[in-house]
Structure 1
């Protein structure tokens, strides 16, 4: 699948390109991103270069990871990375991280909503899932504002720094879909 570009009132969501590596590298120095998301720790410049040039392109080419960088329309600043990853036919996982300086301004909600809408329409998704490590309250708050229902807690789902961590899981059904009317 070819990458898409989505526009909202304040943002442009587009596939990352090589010139975005500096912004991705700087953003991923945030301790919260390194703790709560599956980025390498420590996050190196090479990791950013691989993410924008290799991982993003491969994800789109394989029609598996639909990664878009969200950038402010007014000044081009990186807001964050937003992705829909295919899990099963019609089921995608929403993943995201946001630049610390851009948080709290509604940009992440705007970007994630645009991507979710695109996933339901263009990808034919009937269900979106969201996963976050217990304790990542901002991620949970964003998911709930998007309309996700927190469906449970998975005990010891993964290890972070060698310590088992619990994860929340939530779901968002396609508006008007058969399952959402039961």
Structure 2
């Protein structure tokens, strides 16, 4: 992994660019709105993640133009777009959200056409390594709605330990749903 940003504490960080063998992880720019909009038409993304449903083009513009930059500015949500090096296609959005001192939550969604190739695992691993190093995290948490087996499989590939199930943690479409929670400790 190549970190081209400024290492240091979360409050002092500006947006960074990370690289893996196959991926660029970088801040979103306005021209990414079209790809974000297309990816977020996926029913699983709208069901399992906190994106708007239905997800309009205006939602994509707000995400890349306001939400992601504000997350970096406040030192709370470190959102990066993930793109393939070989064809500059959007793989997904990956984020570390500050929960408390030294504890961050890993969140992500992946474009449907980019799933099943190990790209999300590669991106998530890069985010976690960056979080442990640059953010000085000692714990990275993972949360997913019970039934999101793809997210759970990715978490297990990262070495995240499933720690429990939270009953009726949130409402989705007006119905309560259970959530899995797990953690990855700094190596």
Q: How does the TM-score come out when normalised to structure 1?
A: 0.96
Q: Deviations over 1:78-112 (max 9, x none)?
A: 00000000000000000000000000001000000
Of the three residues 119, 140, 145, the one matched with 2:131 is: 119
1:4 equivalent in structure 2: 16
SS in structure 1 at match of 2:141:
strand
**What is the CA–CA distance in structure 1 between the aligned matches of 2:75 and 2:174, rounded to whole Å?**
32
RMSD between superposed Cα atoms in Å: 0.4
The equivalent of 1:24 in structure 2 is: 36
TM-score (norm 2): 0.93
Structure 1 segments unaligned to the other structure (5+ residues): 176-182
Partner residue, 2:53: 41
Q: Pick from 71, 80, 83: which aligns with 1:71? A: 83
1:1-182 maps to which residues of 2 (within 5 A)?
Answer: 1-175=13-187
Q: How many matched pairs?
A: 175
Q: Cα offset for 1:152?
A: 0.2
Q: Which residue of 1 aligns with 2:9?
A: none
- Structure 1 runs, 4 residues or longer, greater than 3 Å off: none
